[in-house]
Chain A
Amino acid sequence: MSTIDHLKDHLKQGFNQDLEKLKIYQSFGNDVIEAPKEFVHPLLKFLKSHGHFDFLMDVCGADYPEREGGRFDVVYHLFSSKNARRLRVKARLHQGEKIPTVTDIWRGADWFEREAYDMFGIIFEGHNNLRRLLTHHQFKGHPLRKDYEADHQQHCDSALPIHFDYDPNYIEDPNKDLVPLNIGPSHPATHGTLRVMAELDGETVHRANVELGYLHRCFEKMAETHAYNQVIPYTDRLNYCSAPINNVGYCKTVEKLLGVEIPPKAQAMRIILSELSRVIDHIVCIGANAVDLGALTGFFHLFTYREMVYTLFEKLCGARLTVSLTRVGGMAQDAPPGWFDDVLETCKKIREGVDQLETLLSGNKIWIERTRGVGAISAEEAIQWGYTGPLLRAAGVSLDLRKVDPYYGYETLDFDVPVGSNGDCYDRYLVRVEEMKNSLKIIEQVAKNVPSGDYTIRDKSIVLPEKKDVYGNIEGLMNHFMLVIKGLRPPAGEIYDATEAANGELGFYLVSDGSAQPYRLKVRPPCFAIYQSFPKQITGGLVADVITVLGSMNLIAGELDR
Chain B
Amino acid sequence: MSEENTLKINASIDPKGMLPESNSLLESSVLTTKLDDFIAWGRKNSLWPLPYGTACCGIEMMSVMGPRYDLARFGAEVVRFSPRQADLLLVAGTITEKMAPILVHIYEQMLEPKYVISMGACASSGGFYRAYHVLQGCDKVIPVDVYVPGCPPTPEAVLDGIMALQKMIQEGAPRPWKENWKNPFEHTLPEIEGAFDEPRGFHG
Contacts of B128 on A, CB cut-off 8 Å?
222, 233-234
B54 with A215: CB separation less than 8 A: yes
Complex partner residue of B131 from A138, A150, A240, CB under 8 angstroms: A150
Question: In whole angstroms, what is the CA distance A234 to B122 when docked?
Answer: 12
Contacts of B100 on A, CB cut-off 8 Å?
155-156
Interface residues of A in 198-217 (CB under 8 A from B): 213-217
Q: Per-residue 0/1 for A231-249: is the Cβ within 8 Å of any B Cβ (1 yes, 0 no)?
A: 0011011001101000000
Query: Closest approach, in angstroms, between the C-beta of A277 and any C-beta of chain B?
Result: 12
Decide if B26 is an interface residue (CB 8 Å cutoff). Answer: no
The closest CB in chain B to the CB of A558 belongs to B55
Contacts of B54 on A, CB cut-off 8 Å?
192-193, 214-215, 557
Decide if B87 is an interface residue (CB 8 Å cutoff). Answer: no
Binds A, one of B9-17, B41-49, B58-66, B169-177: B58-66
Complex partner residue of B192 from A149, A153, A157, A188, CB under 8 angstroms: A157
B132 with A218: CB separation less than 8 A: yes
Complex partner residue of B96 from A143, A217, A303, CB under 8 angstroms: A217
Decide if A135 is an interface residue (CB 8 Å cutoff). Answer: yes
Contacts of A306 on B, CB cut-off 8 Å?
63, 66
B97 with A136: CB separation less than 8 A: yes
Decide if B130 is an interface residue (CB 8 Å cutoff). Answer: yes
Query: Closest approach, in angstroms, between the C-beta of A89 and any C-beta of chain B?
Result: 29
The closest CB in chain B to the CB of A137 belongs to B98
B129 with A222: CB separation less than 8 A: yes
Main secondary structure of the interface of B (DSSP, over half): loop
The closest CB in chain B to the CB of A238 belongs to B56
A141 with B204: CB separation less than 8 A: yes
Contacts of A157 on B, CB cut-off 8 Å?
101, 184-185, 187, 192
Query: Closest approach, in angstroms, between the C-beta of A168 and any C-beta of chain B?
Result: 28
Report if A156-B62 is in contact (Cβ < 8 Å); known contacts: A140-B202, A222-B129, A222-B131.
no
The closest CB in chain B to the CB of A152 belongs to B132
Query: Closest approach, in angstroms, between the C-beta of A558 and any C-beta of chain B?
Result: 6
Question: In whole angstroms, what is the CA distance A157 to B141 when docked?
Answer: 11
A237 with B185: CB separation less than 8 A: no
Contacts of B129 on A, CB cut-off 8 Å?
217-218, 222
Query: Closest approach, in angstroms, between the C-beta of B191 and any C-beta of chain A?
Result: 12
Residue of A192, A284, A299 contacting most chain B CB atoms (<10 Å): A192
Contacts of A240 on B, CB cut-off 8 Å?
55-56, 59
Beyond known contacts A150-B130, A156-B100: 7 more, CB 8 A cutoff: A136-B96, A149-B132, A152-B132, A159-B102, A185-B99, A217-B122, A217-B133
Q: Give A residues with C-beta under 8 Å from B.
A: 134-136, 138-141, 143, 148-159, 185-188, 192-193, 213-218, 221-222, 233-234, 236-237, 240-241, 243, 284, 299-300, 303-304, 306-307, 310, 320-322, 557-558
22 contacts between A and B (CB under 8 A): A136-B98, A140-B202, A143-B132, A151-B131, A156-B98, A157-B101, A157-B185, A157-B187, A159-B101, A186-B81, A187-B81, A192-B58, A193-B54, A213-B98, A213-B133, A215-B96, A222-B129, A222-B131, A284-B62, A299-B66, A307-B66, A322-B152
